[in-house]
Structure 1
């Protein structure tokens, strides 16, 4: 349903277009970027994505070559682990299964060609749709960090989730 291709500098305009305000930017990236999301921040992200420490992708629907999402995987080679992040589905593509498809592709790459033993992620605990999606892929809550940040006049708690390779492989074998 989707193919992943490397994130390029020209993809930045899509990310900017998909994020319509400071709360959506915060939900997507936490404290990593600030509003307004601008060319300087994008340039830094593009540079970081071009290193062996992060793999960043754009998800493309091969039926019409339309870009439908973005995600990245920060790699800790020394510990054979990765941290999934910056997952964003294009507004017009939400609710159509693209999120699960692009995450599945990224997890296949992480546990396959990258040889990772576990992949973790953080998600704001009020993001029920994302949590449901991650749990459906085999992620389990490792811990909840209560009130780790304050933004837009409210405290934010983050759920830390983890998916070991053995769970991913077992789930794939039973499917």
Structure 2
């Protein structure tokens, strides 16, 4: 995969030395609260190593990038196309900023914009989609600023911390993305 440089971050390949950074967040309740239920139970070192190895070898169903500091290439998080439907030209996005200290600086928004540009320009996808919990207001603002629109709401779909929350489905079409770009 190519490296995609932005203003403050770059999207780069996974590396073996990313393991400690990934391990730092996979069992951090403040981070995984906003992620899917695959993080409901503690993740063992071996599971994280297997995931990273699959990404390194291209054996994962997903394709993705590490979100890294532009100057140092240090790990900040990751953004993946977790599933690509090549027939219908649809990709499903997952993103995580791996530490609370990196949140609120625009790194996720910049990474999303880089991935969206890559998905539409280079992969020729027609649609991107994602799901977000209704209490994750920061992420919803990020996705909206990148052009995603709410397309559906699964009421009381997710149970977390003793209550039910809605899951918001958001999508972005290539045609809508082009309206805000000088893209051919």
TM over 0.5, shorter chain: yes
**Runs of 5+ in structure 1 lacking a partner?**
none
Matches within 5 A, 1:5-154: 5-19=12-26, 21-22=28-29, 24-28=31-35, 30-46=36-52, 49=55, 50-51=58-59, 53-74=61-82, 75-154=84-163
Q: 1:169 to 1:48 in 2, by over 3 A?
A: farther
TM-score, with normalisation over the residues of structure 2? 0.83
Q: Distance in 2 between matches of 1:108 and 1:52?
A: 22
TM-score, with normalisation over the residues of structure 1? 0.86
Q: 1:43 to 1:77 in 2, by over 3 A?
A: farther
Q: Distance in 2 between matches of 1:41 and 1:149?
A: 24
Cα-to-partner distance string for 1:53-87 (whole Å, 9 max, x where unaligned): 31121112222332222111121112101000133
Q: Which residue of structure 1 aligns with residue 178 of structure 2? A: 169
CA contact (8 A) 1:22 1:36 kept: no
> Between Structure 1 and Structure 2, how many residues are aligned?
173
Q: 1:52 to 1:68 in 2, by over 3 A?
A: closer
| 1:91 Cα deviation from its structure 2 partner | 2.4
Q: Distance in 2 between matches of 1:133 and 1:31?
A: 22
Q: 3-state DSSP class of the match of 1:79?
A: coil
Q: 3-state DSSP class of the match of 2:180?
A: helix
Q: 1:125 to 1:60 in 2, by over 3 A?
A: same
